[in-house]
Chain A
Amino acid sequence: MTSTSPTLTRRAALGGFGAALAMPALRPAFGQGTPIKVGVLHSLSGTMAISETALRDTVLMMVDWVNAKGGVMGRKVEAVVVDPASNWPLFAEKARELLQVHKVDVTFGCWTSVSRKSVLPVFEELNGMLFYPVQYEGEEESKNIFYTGAAPNQQAIPAVEYLMSKDGGEAKRIALLGTDYVYPRTTNRILRGFLKSKGIGDADIMEEYTPFGHSDWQGIVARVKRFASEGKKTAIVSTINGDANVPFYRELGNQGIKAEDIPCVAFSVGEEELAGIDTKPLVGHLAAWNYFMSVQGAPNTEFKQLWQSYIKNPKRVTNDPMEATYTGFRMWTQAVERAKSTKVDDVRAAMIGQKLMAPCGYEEEMLPNHHLSKPVLIGEVQEDGQFNIVWKTPNAVKAENWSPFIPENANRRR
Chain B
Amino acid sequence: MKNLLLALGVLLWLALPARAQDAFTAALPGLAGGFGDIATSVEQLGALGDPRALPILRALQAGQLQKHADGRLLLPGNTDAATGQPADASGAETVRLNNRVRQALRGALGRLQLVSPDAAERGAAAEAIFRSRSAEDVPTLQAAIARETDAGVKAKLVLALAAAQLVAPDEEAKRDAIARLGAAGTVEARALLIEARAANPTLVTAIDISIASIERSLSIRRAAETLFQGLSLGSVLLLAALGLAVTFGVMGVINMAHGEFVMLGAYATFMVQEACRGIPWLAPWSLPLSVPAAFLIAAAAGAALERGLIRHLYGRPLETLLMTFGVGMILQQAVRTIFGAQNREVASPAWMQGTLMLPGGIAVTQNRLWIIVFGIAVLLLVIAAIRFTRFGLEMRAVVQNRRIAATMGIRTGRVDALTFAFGSGIAGMAGVALSQIDNVSPNLGTGYIIDSFMVVVFGGVGSLAGTLVGALTLGVVNKVLEPYAGAVLAKVFVLVAIMLFIQRRPRGLFALKGRAAES
Contacts and interface: CB of A to CB of B under 8 A. Distances in A.
A223 B365 contact: no
B99 A169 contact: yes
Interface stretch (B184-192, B380-388, B465-473): B184-192
A405 to B, nearest CB: 23
Contact of B98 (A45, A276, A281, A390): A390
A212 to B, nearest CB: 9
Interface in B208-260: 222, 225-226, 229, 232-233, 236
Given A208-B487, A246-B439, A218 B343 contact: no
A210 B487 contact: yes
Interface string A163-186: 000111100000000001000000
Contacts of B187: 225-226, 229
A167 B191 contact: no
Interface stretch (A99-107, A247-255, A365-373): A247-255
Contacts of A168: 99-100
B136 interface: no
Interface string B263-306: 00000000000000000000000000000000000000000000
Contacts of B483: 219, 223
A256 B355 contact: yes
A222 B343 contact: no
A45 B442 CA distance: 9
B491 A380 contact: no
Contacts of B347: 278
Range, interface on chain A: 35 or more
A216 interface: yes
Given A166-B100, A211-B491, A256-B354, A218 B368 contact: yes
Contacts of B106: 260
B488 A167 contact: no
Contacts of B232: 216, 218
A167 B98 contact: yes
Contacts of B180: none
Interface in B177-209: 187-188, 190-195, 197
Interface stretch (A27-35, A46-54, A150-158): A46-54
B3 interface: no
Interface in A347-363: none
B116 interface: no
Given A49-B341, A230-B191, A276-B344, A219 B447 contact: no
Contact of A215 (B36, B98, B438, B479): B438
Nearest to A219: B482
A278 B348 contact: yes
Nearest to A378: B98
B341 A260 contact: no
Interface in B354-397: 354-355, 363, 365-368
A336 B266 CA distance: 48
A250 B440 CA distance: 13
Nearest to A244: B439
A215 B266 CA distance: 15
A213 B482 contact: no
A232 to B, nearest CB: 8
Given A210-B487, A230-B194, A284 B102 contact: yes
Contact of B229 (A50, A222, A272, A278): A222
Contacts of B443: 46-47, 213
A263 interface: yes
Contact of A390 (B35, B236, B355, B486): B35
B345 interface: yes
Contacts of B188: 229
A243 B439 contact: yes
A21 interface: no
A299 B78 CA distance: 34
Interface string A311-336: 00000000000000000000000000
A209 interface: yes
A166 to B, nearest CB: 7
A13 interface: no
Contacts of B368: 218
Given A167-B98, A276-B343, A251 B365 contact: yes
Interface in A229-280: 229-232, 243, 246-247, 250-251, 253-256, 259-261, 263, 272, 275-278
B353 A253 contact: yes
A215 B341 contact: no
A92 interface: no
Interface string B83-124: 000000000000011111011001000000000000000000
Given A209-B486, A219-B482, A226-B187, A263 B341 contact: no
Given A213-B447, A223-B483, A247-B437, A218 B365 contact: yes
A222 B225 contact: yes
Contacts of A210: 487-488
B489 to A, nearest CB: 9
B333 interface: yes
Nearest to B363: A255
Contacts of A226: 187, 222
A167 B191 CA distance: 22
A116 interface: no
A44 interface: yes
The listed residue with most B CB atoms (<10 A of its CB), out of A47, A53, A276, is: A276
A231 to B, nearest CB: 3
Given A208-B487, A214-B487, A219-B229, A259 B99 contact: yes
A255 B355 contact: yes
The 8 closest A-B pairs by CB, nearest first: A231-B194, A276-B343, A229-B187, A49-B341, A231-B195, A215-B438, A254-B365, A229-B191
26 contacts: A45-B336, A45-B341, A49-B336, A53-B341, A167-B35, A167-B98, A167-B100, A180-B488, A208-B486, A208-B487, A209-B488, A211-B488, A219-B482, A228-B191, A231-B194, A231-B197, A246-B343, A246-B438, A246-B439, A255-B355, A255-B365, A256-B354, A272-B342, A276-B342, A380-B97, A390-B98
Interface of A: 44-47, 49-50, 53, 166-169, 180, 208-211, 213-216, 218-220, 222-223, 225-226, 228-232, 243, 246-247, 250-251, 253-256, 259-261, 263, 272, 275-278, 281, 284, 380, 388, 390
